[in-house]
Amino acid sequence: MNDKTPTRTPTAINLHSKSRLLAIEFSDGASFRLPCEYLRVFAKAKEVRTLENPVTGKESVNITQIEPQGQYAVRFTFDDGHDTSIYSWDTLYELGVNQEKNWHAYQSRLEQMGYKAGEQKEHEGTRKIKLLYFTYLVKLLQKDSEEVEIPASVIDVTSLIEWLRRRNIDHAHLFQDGSLQVTVNKQFSEPFTRIDGGDEVALIPTSPNAPVKK
């Protein structure tokens, strides 16, 4: 590890295990949300080597442990057993700044190889979740819960709400941004919280009064 003092240091590092996402904030005000898959496939020290011989099949990888390495780095333990890569603060910052460019290059390399990320998952069958409704939603939707089959486009809370708007055209106004607090498996969620088959999702209005239909 380089002993050079990093130019930027993290002020907060939070692992969102459900979403397989690392949220990191830096002292200069920059903040990034880095998928565990992204951190895993770019775990090698040299980006060129990563792109020449990319790691594949890590779409569902997660971080199980974060260990400080002195004052300038952390080591991640991934649930596929990989635990030898050390990420300096500067490396994490660069991965954040260059995330879009890096990921595009990685995906392009996979395409050249003929590898389709997540191809196996497409054949795993349908995904169903249980929706729980509260307060005015129960009255207006005439149900307090239902089990629904979600399409592949629903991957997180944001895309779930968007899908519910399209699915319930007459009641789309009930799913306005900011009008609902969402929990996933009884845990308060973020917009990026991942949605998986078998999840229980509660939709809790933030106001006692339903939004007005426009």
Is the CATH number of domain 10-113 3.30.2020.30?
yes
* 5: pLDDT strictly greater than 90: no
- Of residues 45 and 172, the one with the higher pLDDT is 172
Residue 118 pLDDT class (50, 70, 90 cuts): low
pLDDT tens per residue, range 13-69 = 999 999 999 999 999 999 999 999 999 999 864 443 456 778 888 888 999 999 999
* Longest Cα separation, the chain: 63
Is the CATH number of domain 125-205 3.30.930.10?
no
Write down the pTM of the prediction.
0.71
Residue 115 to residues 54, 106, 119, 178, Cα–Cα distance (Å): 11, 11, 8, 39
Spatial separation of the C-alpha atoms in residues 202 and 184, rounded to whole Å: 7
The CATH 3.30.2020.30 portion of the chain extends over 10-113
